[in-house]
Structure formats: structure tokens, C-alpha cells
Structure 1
């Protein structure tokens, strides 16, 4: 049922195929996991197929090692008419221990679409506590910043 499940966490082990030349998990693998968690969360919230419209502010804080258990969590922090802004955190650690450390975080915007690929309305998410209000307000401020950055980037489009 749409509009109920606001947060999703995917858990799995980092595999040898995910390693880069430096022996740590490749940033591209982490970005794929972020996109998968974002889709799972957006589809659960909207009850519809969703596409990635934006991924930004990606910060790689700490490396992930092969064999680590990885938790990629996505949470709805703002909804527009057809879009959902998601806060994504990636945490990892030794599967033999309960501690997980933040490795990556970012914002992803997903858009719900109908069978013809047209944007489709999503249930509104309303914050209920102070932390959720802060997350929503931050998402709104980031939206305004992206508009300014987009205008600046036009000079670079050929």
C-alpha cells in the first residue's frame, strides 16, 4: 500500500567483484547500491515504478572493504507532486561485529511514472517530529541550491 513504507534498508556482503584497483570497494558499485535502495524506497512509498531524476551531494566518507556487511538505507525526506527526495546513508562493517560506520551519504530524487512513462502523482509525506522537519527543510533548501547550480551549469552545456 502506497504512502506507508517510508524507509528501506538493503543488506548484503561486499564481494570481491566490487573491488577497485586500490583494494577497496569501487565507488561505482556503491552508487549502484544507492540507486537500488532509492528505487526500492520510492517504489514502496509511491506504489509505482520510479526513475532516478537526480543523485547528488555524494560524499564518500570511509572505504568499504570486501567482506564487509553493507547497509544501504533510503528514507523519504520530502515529496513533491510526482517526486520523492530521499536521504541515503551507506554503512558498513565487519559482519562478526554489530558496529557499522557511515561510508557514504547523498540525496537522490526519484520520480514516479505511469505505464506510458509520464510523471505520476505520489502520496504526500508530512514530517511529524523535529528531525523530520529538519530533513524536509534541508531538502527544500537543497532544491533551491540545485536551481542556482543548474543555471550556472548551462554555460557548460554545448
Structure 2
């Protein structure tokens, strides 16, 4: 049922296949986990198939080690007509310790698509229920405006497309 799941938590152990040559989970694996948790949260809220539109402000703050208990938390912080903005944080902790550390954080935007045509479809509106949620919604709106400005800047400096494929 759409509109019933504003947050998702994934928990699992970091495995040897997740790490780079330095023995720490590589960024690509953390990004995969972020995308999976974000997708589950977006689909749970919208009740529709969703696609990732953007990932903003991704920060790799602390390493994740083999055997760490990893928690990926995705929560809804803003909705548009067909879009959902999610705050996604990745935490880790050594199973022998109680201190959980923030390892990675970002804001993702997903768009819900309808089944027959794959076109954007409306999502249930989300209303913040706490002061913290209101502040996160303001943050999401600021990031959206910054993203639009960055897109305008990139478009202004993009080289013209060539149509001659033999060039």
C-alpha cells in the first residue's frame, strides 16, 4: 500500500567480497547499498516502480571494515508531484563494540513511473511531522535548487553534439 513506508533500514555484515585492496569496503559497494535501500524506500512510499534520478552530496566519512555490522537507513524527506527525496545514511560498527559510526551520507531523488508507459506518475504527498523533519525538507529543497543551478551551469558549458558518427 502506497504512502505507508517513509523509511527503510537494511542490516547485514560487510563481507570480504565487499572490500578493496586496502581491506575496506569500496565506495562502489556502499553506493550499491545506498541505491538498494533508497529504491526500497521509494517503492514502499509510492507503490510504483521507481528510478534513481540523482544522488547529491555523497560523502565518505569513515571506513567500513570486513565483519562490521552495516546499517543503511533511507528516509523520505520531501515529495514532489512524482519525485521523492530521501536522506540515506550508512552506519557501521564492530560487533564487539557498541559505538556505531556514520560512514557515508547522501540525498537521493527517485521518480515513480507508471507500469504501462514508464512515464512519471504522482506519489502520495509527504508532510513532515517534527521540527527535524521540517528542517530536512528545507535541506532537500535547497539541494534541489542547487542541482537545477548546477544543471544550468553544465548545459552552458557543454560542447555541441555532433551528428556525424564517422568523425
TM category (shorter chain) comes to over 0.9
Cα-to-partner distance string for 1:20-62 (whole Å, 9 max, x where unaligned): 1211100000000000000000010111111000012000000
* Structure 1: unaligned runs, 5 residues or longer: none
Aligned to 2:75: 75
**SS, match of residue 73 in structure 2:** strand
- Helix, strand or coil: the match of 2:86? strand
2:85 is the counterpart of 1:101: no
Structure-to-structure mapping, 1:44-83, within 5 angstroms: 44-83=44-83
Pairing 1:1-158 to 2, within 5 Å after superposition: 1-115=1-115, 116-158=117-159
Q: How many residues align?
A: 158
Deviation for aligned residue 1:156:
4.3
- Root-mean-square deviation over aligned CA pairs: 1.0
35-44 or 17-26, which deviates more: 17-26
Whole-angstrom distance in 1 between the partners of 2:49 and 2:97:
36
SS in 2 for 1:152: helix
| 2-structure distance, mates of 1:34, 1:156 | 30
Distance 2:109 2:37 in 1: 12
Matched residue SS, 2:53: strand
Q: Give the alignment's TM-score, normalised by structure 1.
A: 0.96
The answer for the alignment partner of 2:162 in structure 1 is: none
**How high is the TM-score relative to the length of structure 2?**
0.91
Segments of structure 2 that go 5 or more residues without pairing to the other structure are 160-167
Deviation at 1:99, TM superposition (A): 2.5
Question: Which has the larger Rg?
Answer: 2
